[in-house]
Amino acid sequence: MTTPTITPYLKDGIELDQIIVQGIRVTGFHGVYAREKESGQLFLADVVAHVSTRTAADRDELGRTVNYSDIADRAAEVLGGDPADLLETVAEHIARAILEMPGVQAVDVIVHKPQAPLHVEFRDVMVKIRRDLRSGTLWADKRIGSSAGGFADPLAPAPRSTDPGDAQPLQPVTAYLGLGGNIGDVEASFREALWELHRIPGIEVTGASSLFRTRPVGGTEQADFLNAVVQLETALAPRALLAACQGIEVLHGRERLIPNGPRTLDVDLLAFGDLELESEDLEVPHPRAAERAFVLQPWATLAPDFVLPGFGRIGDLAAAVGSDGVELVEERWPALQRKASSQE
């Protein structure tokens, strides 16, 4: 039984790695005819999970990769689970189960029905699909941080709220995010975060600062950080944008265990237009943005004339705090595309 060739899945022109589990065999009860649901027959599935394996490879840790045993178990559970009339439905359910796994960006699923009730000789019947995180509710669940119990379109009209943190802007707002990290291939994580942001409905990444290296501050012994600032246009409410940032952190294994400690990826909301807001879970502008050289020095290379509400012009703030402990690594980083790749 031959599996069709799987074409690469690209993220901004970068080919993702593949974890392939082939020939998962289960007796299932899927089919249109009553006898198929009663007696059952053999079904097979091939699953290709498109992931980045860099962090797992660098650290040689099972917990930082997608476990192929879990892939097989999830596919087998669907194959042997509730009967469906169509192979298309079975494939869709497998794809959704795999996309729920942290780290999976896209999945190819091929479902085989070699004992299908046809009236001619044949070798196999297959349905092949490709799905990614934008296919249905999983985009909202994993990217925006909505409840896993239902769909939450970030651009859908929200219930009326008096909280400005939940108010969707009438027109796109310029916002700024700070990126930081010192575990693994940080520059690659930054590039992935840019792509992930750009793919969220209601967000268009429009610029990125130069890349800087920062000496860590505090008592914890750790590697130097990389830092950058991202500019975007967004139609999301401030709190929805913050949730998107936190969701991307989680996808990259962000753990908040030690204050000022090592981390894979920080995505901080620095500013949201001219909004000034302070609440229990959201403070805009970021309360420490105006005093951090590792924020201001990159920011000044991107938008020196932006006025940080309540503080002043970014270029002036950067000059005031200086650049002690912060050094330029790469002036033109990254080669940012204005439109995210649409190839899937």
Residues 344, 6: Cα–Cα separation, whole Å: 11
**Contacts for 19 with CB less than 8 Å, ≥ 6 apart:** 48, 49, 51, 53, 65, 66, 68, 71
Tokens of 54: 């860099």
Using omega within 30 degrees of 0 as the cis cutoff, is the peptide bond preceding 117 cis? no
Residues with Cβ < 8 Å from 315, sequence gap 6 or more? 300, 304, 305
**Is the Cα dihedral 290, 295, 297, 298 positive or negative?**
negative
Catalytic residue (one of 113, 128, 142, 339): 113
CA distance 221 to 225: 12
Instruction: State the Cα–Cα distance between residues 259 and 275, nearest whole angstrom.
Output: 27
Q: Is 128 a catalytic residue?
A: no
Q: Which of 111, 117, 124 is nearest to 36 (CA)?
A: 117
Q: What residues are annotated to the active site?
A: 113
